[in-house]
Amino acid sequence: MTKLTLRPGNERGHSQMDWLDSRFSFSFADYHDPEHMGFLDLRVINDDHIAVGGGFGMHPHRDMEIITYVIDGKLAHKDSIGTGSTIVPGEIQRMSTGSGIMHSEFNAGDTPLHLLQIWIMPSARGGAPSYAQKPIDTKSVSGQFGLLASPEGGSGLITIKQDANMWLAKLSKGQNTMFDLKPSRGAWAHVVRGDVTIDGQKLTTGDAASWIEPGATRFAANDDSEVLLFDMVQ
């Protein structure tokens, strides 16, 4: 059985404003916890609830792979390289900030927006910033882990500048699936929603678990569930 390190959702950092309610898996902004500075090259998972009309005005980033995963609602994105787009559930978006980029993100709908913003440290600094957005292949993630992003990219995949892969599984109640972690890699699994038992450990919405032991890890859905998983070089 895999030895898991748990990150309970209710122990994450928390920040609340009039238009933004955020939970931080790792240290971010005013939340600092030396025990939770990231996992390998995974640096940020922010669980953001953005009210109607709310959002982040133009601000800079550099030297980071930023992935946005919309859970509910619509997100309007604009950036300094000319991108203007709306991101909805069922899509995956990546911004490679490279040598520097400005962007804004706002709730584009008339209902609250719920998203995960994920930062992965790139394997090399600098380079031209870029943007990508693609629909998720629903068949590939139904009842199993399907690949969303990788350093090689490919048809239907987002390319990221790091030896890291991003997977998604959408499991119906009663479904089981396995994830096989290769040697010299680590995994971080985040329960987007639902109720999942991972090798005997029960996790619910917002909970996460990490491990570095190679081999197969079993996921059993106790309810309809959605799990994001990152595996990356140690």
Per-residue pLDDT of 57-70, as tens digits, reads 999 999 999 999 99
| 63/43 Cα distance (integer angstroms) | 12
- Average model confidence (pLDDT) across the chain: 97
Instruction: Provide the pLDDT for residue 1.
Output: 83
Per-residue pLDDT of 107-160, as tens digits, reads 999 999 999 999 999 999 999 999 999 999 999 999 999 999 999 998 899 999
Within 13 A of 111's CA, how many CA atoms are on the CB side? 7
Residues 91/133, Cβ–Cβ less than 8 Å? yes
Find the angle CA(133)-CA(156)-CA(111) to the nearest 5 degrees: 40
Selection from 205, 180, 172, 177 nearest residue 190 by Cα: 205
CATH, domain range 5-233: 2.60.120.10
Instruction: Provide the pLDDT for residue 211.
Output: 98
Q: How far is CA 72 from the centre of its chain?
A: 14
| 148/135 Cα distance (integer angstroms) | 9
Q: Averaged over 208-218, what is the pLDDT?
A: 98
Examine the pLDDT at 215 and tell me if it is beyond 90.
Answer: yes
Q: Considering the entire predicted model, what is its pTM?
A: 0.97
Tokens of 184: 């010299």
Q: What are the start-end ranges of the H helices in the chain? A: 138-141
Per-residue pLDDT of 5-54, as tens digits, reads 999 999 999 999 999 999 999 999 999 999 999 999 999 999 999 999 99
Instruction: Provide the pLDDT for residue 65.
Output: 98
